[in-house]
Structure 1
Amino acid sequence: MPTPDPPPHAEAPADHPLEDELAQALPDRRTTLPVLIRRWALRLIPVILLGAAGYVLWRDYHDLAFADVAAEVRRWGHRAILGALALSAVSFLLMGVVEKVGLRWMGARLPWAPTLATAFIANAIAHSLGANLLVSGAVRARLYDRYGVGLTQVAGATLFQGFSFAVGIATLAGAGLLLASPQALAASAIATPVARTTGAVLLAAVAAYLLTCALHRTPLHAFGRTLALPSPGKALVQLSVGAADNATAAAIIWILLPPGTVDYLAFVGAYAIACVAGLISTVPAGAGVFEGTLSALLPRAPAASLAAAFLGYRLAYFLLPLAVALLALLGDTLRRPRRR
């Protein structure tokens, strides 16, 4: 029987409130002058991104007629709609796989059913509300409590999920920007030299992460805490499943666009940049910033087609999963008193 990787740090004391324990499991935030400057800078960046995205959206869509968007929605057909819903389901299933590996990395062994259910609820809520690590960590802590999963284990699994997304989207974007043909990149606003350089840097960063996990087996010390890196096998799971997850999510928009609008490899590069911009903005679900960035990077895409694809993406990947997750969480809350 394989020995689980050592947990990153010890359990927090049980007498702390939930919020304090989750905060203790994450890096400390010190109030030194450099930190304060960085915080103010991080507050300005979302404002700038949101303003720029608002301008791009107004420029591209202010004269767009609702009838044009409705016509694009009708063009999808049942096959594209079912395909978008299926891709959304596959993406959340892949997140559940990462959740399972992350829990095992932290020494928690749970059956597949509660792991997949909790991963779906936590990710669906966090995707829509923003503050992914804190929100999804709080949801996980509540749902895993009955299985004896400690808060440090919850925090570790949450960080594992976050790193899986980061490594996965870097791999996907790097491969897409490196492999897309110059003709495909011409359909986007990404210049070929910029695409090649960015792709190489992203893949080099991913390779550096994998090498660090393979060669640096002693725990790291940062922010006053000790963190054991994943094993090389688990890091490869983060890379492969994370890339597949992001590729699946990107395909939701891509299949809703008219055929031939943009090559998929060029599209995933633009999609990854838009995702990162949405995350940096701290706007819940990156709403507006994601769409504005992707619109700017796909100037040749018809405005009505892109607007309709954004609508389908938000419904299939955000709003519908959020509704199902909230109903599931409500049902769990109503049933929980009878279990005690």
Structure 2
Amino acid sequence: MSDVIPQLSAYDDAALDAAFRSLIEQVQAGASSLSTAEAQEAFRLEWLGRKQGRLKLVSDVWLKTAPVEAKKALGKRFNDLKAAIENALESGAGATRASGPALDVTLPGIARRIGIEHPLTRTMREVVQVFQALGYSIALGPEVESDFYNFEALNFPQNHPARDTQDTLVIADQQGKPGRDRLLMRTHTSPVQIRTMLAQDPPLRIVVPGKVHRNDESDATHSPIFHQIEGLCVDTNITFSDLKGTLDHAMKTLFGSGVKTRFFPSFFPFTEPSADVQISCIFCGGSGCRKCKHSGWIELLGCGMVDPAVFEAVNQRRAEMGMDAAYDPKRISGFAFGMGVDRIAMMLSGATDIGLFYSGDLRFLESFA
């Protein structure tokens, strides 16, 4: 294609202007027909191709062989030619876009599939919403806790089995810290109750959803990671009757108005008296089936009145922080409850293995869509 670019006979301004004017006119003539993407690509290869493009030939035939004194004038005109070629390509591309199919705003859009909530997330949200309707606020806290918040303030004595590393996942290299400051993975969401009482004066009503960790072997009903929802209500004249009425209403809202509740004495270090709560079997209506072990009842959660020792621990810590003792057990009372989200999700879904919720198996998760 060197014959397309003739040799220059002179290098004065008039000769250079005439030579480059002829090329720019050819660029402008070719640019008038760039109505398709194919035409634009052919034009680009003709003028800007790396091996046989006309601009490269101009550089080889004119610029590189020119005398030194003419190279500056040639270089300026060469850059003007290159800019004209690029402008022609850009104008052609804009015209192609403008002449393309118009956007019809009346057509339905292409909606992006968002997916669904994880069944554990959905169950947690539904339970929390029941208590929000009763005036409870949501409280959250860290999963890495200190011994004080996880055990000491909740009336767990030093030799309590729950403190054993067989049950609790502890953070490494904590031996140099005082016992109450040593870090661990929280074994329940109850530490958030202590943190809330330190931050707020009564009355308060909170639910605490979250992930907890225990050194459990994985099997069909146990996992080292699971989820809890706990609640705390503190005010003057709070009684066990208030606790029973609250939980009975919550269970009926969650599982249907025909569900019955019953309470059995139990023990938890941070409540006194304490109780386990059972609901009538939602599968057989209380007549007895395999899922309720033919008893007609399913144990679902634990609860109780807040032990005065917990209020005293909170007041002591508030005093250390320069705050007043707002949680006087002679003046206020409260109740607490806690339930496993994973257990409720298994009941509602019919899953027989807790590991299904953590496996990431889309065949199982898509069944909740």
TM-score range, shorter chain: under 0.3
Higher percent of residues as strand: 2
TM-score normalised per structure 1 = 0.27
TM-score normalised per structure 2 = 0.26
Higher relative contact order (Cα pairs below 8 Å, separated by 6+ residues): 1
Whichever of the two has the greater Rg, that structure is: 2
Higher percent of residues as helix: 1
